[in-house]
Chain A
Amino acid sequence: MKRIIAFILLACMMTCLCGVALADEVDVEAALAEAEGMTNEELYEKAKEEVAAGAQLNFYSTTSFAEKAAANFMAAYPELDGKVIYAEIDDGETYTILQNTIGSGVADSADMALTQNGSDLQTFMLDEGLTYSYFPEMYKDVVDEQFQKPAVVTFIDSLFIYNNTDGSIELTNVWQLTEPEWAGKVFFKDPTNETVNINFLIMLTSPEWVERMEEAYKSYYGEDWANEEEYENASYEWIDKFLANVNYTYTSASDMAKGIASGAGGNLGLFVFSKLRKVDEADRGNLTVVQFENDVEGFSGFMYNVYATVAKDTECPYTCALFINYLLGEEGFAGEDSWNSSQGYYSANSSIEKPEELEDEAYSYWSDKLVFEDAAYIYDHYVDVYEYISVRVGS
């Protein structure tokens, strides 16, 4: 009996402690500071040492393409083969997961993370010292300073894209989308479940974008916006009426791209441009990017950043640094089957251009056509706009 009791107690203890790994302390911050000035060859040597000591790079990402990037990285650095482990995390739970696993001693917690939503990255990770920024000196001249710390490894855009089987929808002004005839015909992922979508709507309420929305309003209706009694500003009115028309049938951007391509003519989506690659070739011709047809007063979509940061308790800071260098460089970003070979991904490295054969434009082309995220503004206004939107989505 005593043995049985002892066994049960032991099993309970083992269950509780399962997965807890004890790691040797590494001064990650100092290692990253040193890594910033090192060449890739030097970093590779250090990375080999880390891997030989038993480390592996657990790499968390919200973007599925990152799995391919990890595979390419290991092919480029064969002695790291099998040591870069990719884990896809849901956008909504990103920071809950990272906040609770980094530094907690959990085995296989993230060594490095590629995340979106700069406001939460700052609040939950960088301010709390859970992850560190790293940016190599070798790219300081080709990457704008504002994208260096934390390092932006790619930009992703969501654009207005429609099914052209019934001809052009002639969308020239975003206020058109608030008209009753668009009810149920414009597709957008539920912003209360998708941080980049809500961030885009939050950015619309910033003074700069309110001004642009008022200009677009005047151009469309021929008069100044003056609905202060009902709405705080023009952007809130647009958000309210736009969301009232939105159809939430598709819960993912991939489904939206495929669904709109094979669905009814005239349907319009605001979704991630790069998802066009998931549409079967036979249907791809059914989709048209509005911006490639004509300019849209207001905006043609929005752009958001994907950041790379390194966990404070990683056992392989040099491998992380080498991987970030790889993602920022030509080989990692523009190599075969990598981000740059798809529409809708743009490097912060200005020396990398989009391939000419792709129906896409350089990052600079989009600068005055899309809504760009400003983490500081989003941080300050998240609550007000989230609650405004949450009520509209659910009612």
Chain B
Amino acid sequence: MGEKKLAHRCKAFFSKPSNVLLVIFLAVLFVLSVLPLITMVTNMFTVHIGTEKKILRLQEGAFTWNHFERLFPISDWSVVNFWKPLGNSFVVAIGAGVLGILIGGTVAWFITRSNLRFKKFISAVFVFPYMMPAWTLALFWINVFKNSQVGGGNVGILESMFGICMPEWFVYGLFPMVIVIALHYSPFAYLLIGGILKNMDATLEESATILKAGRMKIIRRITMPIVMPAILSTFLLIFSSGFSSYTVPVFLGSAVKTFTLSTKMRALINAGYQGQGYIIAFVSIALGCFILGLNQWFTGKRKSFTTVTGKSGQVSLVDLKKANLPISLFLCVYVLFFAIAPLISFALESVIRQPGNYSLSNMTLHFWIGTEASAYETGMISGILLNPTMWKALGRQVLLALIVAVIVGTSGMLIGYACVRRRGSRLSRWVESMAFFPYLMPAMAFGTIYLAVATSQHFKFLYGTFGMLILVASIKFLPFASRSGINSMLQISPEIEEAAMVVGVPWWKRMVRIMFPIQKSSILSGYLLPVISVMREVALFTLLVPYARYLLTTMLFSFNETGYSQYGSAVTLLIVLIIILINTLTNKLTGASFDKGIGG
């Protein structure tokens, strides 16, 4: 009787598509997210082939506490390889978080709440730095500010044009790392804070105005408390991204021996200290979990990452009066310098032979369309547009982006549907948390986890495969798609679907004919973000690609690391243009776009 009851309960449970989806996603996310983490944790306690085996004189796979004993107690080794990089990572993360919010939040306020001029231009161009791989901004920074007084004494753009030499701390080290990461993530702050500001109910401010409250008082007492959850969430997200940044410290830190946890993690793994590398990865992940907890504690609810809020009324714009033109012009110059100038700089750097010489006689298209004979000296067999390796890498990157977008976008929508329909249930909470979990893992640490899996005895067939990259990217970029899916599904009243159910419309038809069309734009944005993320991602893939020129971004990173600066600039320009093209095309065809929701 009991068995029958159980069978009946199971049947009833699985008769609901939302339950089936939740069970499937719970299983998939557990296998792809939690189990690899367990593999990594076991690697923190085991001896690896090579250096560790030699030092410890133990068999491969033997249990050891040695990695912890080397990394944590204070010693020359641990200070250099853990404590000092940890401190640097904190400085970079906090600095970038604060500055990113100041820049992004300020611009968001001007765009959404004031009568600023050139809004469309500023709004469209301000997000460019987020589309560029972060380290390309670092290279731009070096190209502009390097000078005869620092580094190798090479003249940069600022010195050659104005004779100004900036000090070393300005060109290399923690300061530029903070600036560059803040610049890269400030569009992120702009999108999140701007979304809240735009949707904010204007009647609150208008009531205060009627009661004769001053402008500053309104901002302090009304605007700020409303956007505070978004500011805190944004700060913590930028903090998390800044803390785990790998590529920017490589270019801006190495010159002055400033290392962060991410750079040390890779160096230790490459040097054969895998166990210690995995511990650093775990510390980064633990910190990510702590940040999420902190965020929940601050905001008191899990919906804190949402950009979609309640309906707003008519927004009254603040009149900037005489300050309008100067502020507008300043912002135009700002976006021109940090969003357009890097593109011009990449274009220029890709056509000059001799570094620092921008005269016409020094220009060539060799690095774009050079033939075999002229390309010999550089070690490449031709310019990038004629190089089959580049086209293959580009093809793989685009294919990867598209496949991941389909998987992530669809999964995000289905997770959103299932979680919202079963809102409040334990199963729903588990899936929601597990879908967001990968965001807390720094890209490099996430790549490291899968490296640990793919180098374990039974999964070697995964190492270096395209399928592995799809798997890793799909999990890593799922959080925003699932968040976006949940938010968009929350806005759809269940009565609409229930009405269709009453007349016997099957589940898939309800999804395709009702749910998707209603939130088409929002869901398509959930597909678009993974495309952009994959097109500019390198830290996640760098440990997992079979060779450096496998993907376009890893190829670019390799070009920049090995000194093929002209080829590197050409590829960077290509990547940014492709991302802008994808964003524009999607926007024209579907109305969805990367900066959708704020606009000018």
Contact = CB atoms under 8 A, between A and B. Distances in A.
Interface of A: 1, 4-5, 8, 11-12, 14-20, 60, 64-65, 67-68, 71, 86-90, 92-93, 95-97, 99-101, 103-109, 120, 123-124, 187, 190, 192-193, 247-260, 262-264, 267, 275, 277-278, 280, 282-283, 337, 382-383, 386-387, 390-391, 393-395
Interface string B352-371: 01111100000000000000
A322 to B, nearest CB: 20
Contacts of B270: 92-93, 96, 193
B563 A255 contact: yes
B50 A187 contact: no
B254 A248 contact: yes
A235 B561 CA distance: 30
Task: Tell me the interface secondary structure of chain B in the complex.
Answer: helix
Interface string B246-272: 000011001111010000101101110
A193 B562 CA distance: 12
Nearest to A190: B254
B547 A97 contact: yes
Contacts of B291: none
B588 to A, nearest CB: 30
B463 A100 contact: yes
Interface in B528-558: 543, 546-550, 558
B470 interface: yes
Contacts of A101: 463-464, 546
B151 A249 contact: yes
A16 B354 contact: no
Contacts of A387: 77
B563 A106 contact: no
A152 B558 CA distance: 25
A249 B76 contact: no
B314 interface: no
A64 B379 contact: yes
Given A19-B467, A193-B267, A193-B270, A252 B562 contact: yes
Contacts of B564: 254
B391 interface: no
Contact of A187 (B152, B254, B353, B468): B152
Contacts of A12: 28
B454 A391 contact: no
Contact of A252 (B81, B257, B466, B563): B563
Contacts of B547: 60, 87-89, 97
B599 interface: no
A4 B80 CA distance: 52
Interface of B: 17, 20, 24, 28, 49-51, 54-55, 76-77, 79-81, 84-85, 148, 151-155, 172, 250-251, 254-257, 259, 264, 266-267, 269-271, 353-357, 372-373, 376-381, 389, 407, 451, 454-455, 460-468, 470-471, 474, 507-508, 543, 546-550, 558, 561-565
A243 to B, nearest CB: 10
B54 A264 contact: no
A92 B542 CA distance: 12
Contact of B548 (A71, A89, A393): A89
B565 A1 contact: no
Given A251-B561, A254-B564, A337-B376, A97 B546 contact: yes
Contact of B562 (A87, A254, A277): A254
A375 to B, nearest CB: 14
A107 B463 CA distance: 10
Contact of A106 (B51, B152, B546): B546
Contacts, number: 206
Contact of B354 (A99, A192, A262, A277): A262
B254 A394 contact: no
Contact of B549 (A87, A93, A393): A87
A268 to B, nearest CB: 11
Given A97-B546, A391-B80, A282 B354 contact: yes
A103 B463 CA distance: 11
Contact of B563 (A15, A105, A254): A254
A90 B558 contact: yes
A5 B24 contact: yes
Nearest to A283: B354
Contacts of A105: 460-461
Contacts of B357: 282
B460 A394 contact: no
Contacts of A67: 379-381, 389
12 contacts: A5-B24, A12-B28, A19-B468, A64-B562, A68-B379, A88-B547, A90-B558, A108-B546, A264-B148, A382-B54, A383-B51, A395-B80
Given A15-B470, A263-B153, A390-B81, 18 more contacts: A1-B507, A1-B508, A16-B471, A18-B465, A64-B380, A92-B266, A96-B269, A97-B464, A100-B460, A105-B460, A249-B172, A251-B254, A252-B563, A259-B355, A277-B377, A394-B85, A395-B76, A395-B84
A8 B271 CA distance: 40
Nearest to A275: B563
B546 A109 contact: yes
B50 to A, nearest CB: 6
A247 B151 contact: yes
Contacts of B355: 258-259, 262, 280
Contacts of A249: 151-152, 172, 255
Nearest to B557: A90
Contact of B17 (A1, A383, A394): A1
B46 to A, nearest CB: 16
A38 B460 CA distance: 35
Contacts of B466: 18-19
Residue with the greatest number of chain A CB neighbours at <10 A, chosen from B84, B154, B264, B353: B154
Contacts of A252: 561-563
A280 B353 contact: yes
Contacts of A254: 562-564
A92 B558 CA distance: 12
Contacts of B378: 278
A104 B51 contact: no
B467 A17 contact: yes
B152 A264 contact: yes
Contacts of A390: 77, 80-81, 271
A280 B543 CA distance: 33
Nearest to A16: B467
Contacts of A15: 467, 470-471, 474
B264 to A, nearest CB: 8
A264 B548 contact: no
B379 A65 contact: yes
A94 to B, nearest CB: 9
